[in-house]
Amino acid sequence: MRRLIEMRKPKGHHMAETRHTKVLIIGSGPAGYTAAFMPAVRC
């Protein structure tokens, strides 16, 4: 189970980081993970 948890972002950074992505997937169940490998597969 531990392997499922990515390094958790620490709360309350002093400087808020901004990340841009073409596709943001929110959620890591079967729907989220399957969506995650499809864009990579087709590019």
Partner 1 sequence: MLNPILVQGIEPGGQLTTTTEVENWPGDSEVQGPDLMIRMQDHAKAMGCEIIGDIITNLDTSKRPFTATGDSGTIYTADAVILATGARAKWLGLPSEEAFKGFGVSACATCDGFFYRGQEIVVIGGGNTAVEEALFLTNFASKVTLIHRRDELRAEKILQDRLMKNPKIEPLWFHQLEEVVGEDNPKGVEAVRVKHVETGEITEIPCKGVFVAIGHAPANELVKDVLELHNGGYVKVEAGSTRTSIPGIFAAGDLTDHVYRQAVTSAGMGCMAALDAEKFLAEHDA
Ligand X SMILES: Cc1cc2nc3c(=O)[nH]c(=O)nc-3n(C[C@H](O)[C@H](O)[C@H](O)COP(=O)(O)OP(=O)(O)OC[C@H]3O[C@@H](n4cnc5c(N)ncnc54)[C@H](O)[C@@H]3O)c2cc1C
Can you give the binding site for ligand X, defined by CB under 6 A?
26-32
Q: Which is nearer to ligand X, 12 or 30 (CB)?
A: 30
For residue 14, give Cα distances in angstroms to 10, 11, 17, 19.
Answer: 10, 9, 9, 16
Q: Which is nearer to ligand X, 5 or 15 (CB)?
A: 5
Amino acid letter, residue 16: A
The answer to whether 25 and 32 have CB atoms below 8 angstroms apart is yes
Give the footprint of partner 1 on this chain (CB under 8 A): 1, 3-13, 16-43
What is the smallest separation between the CB atom of 14 and partner 1, expressed in angstroms? Answer: 9
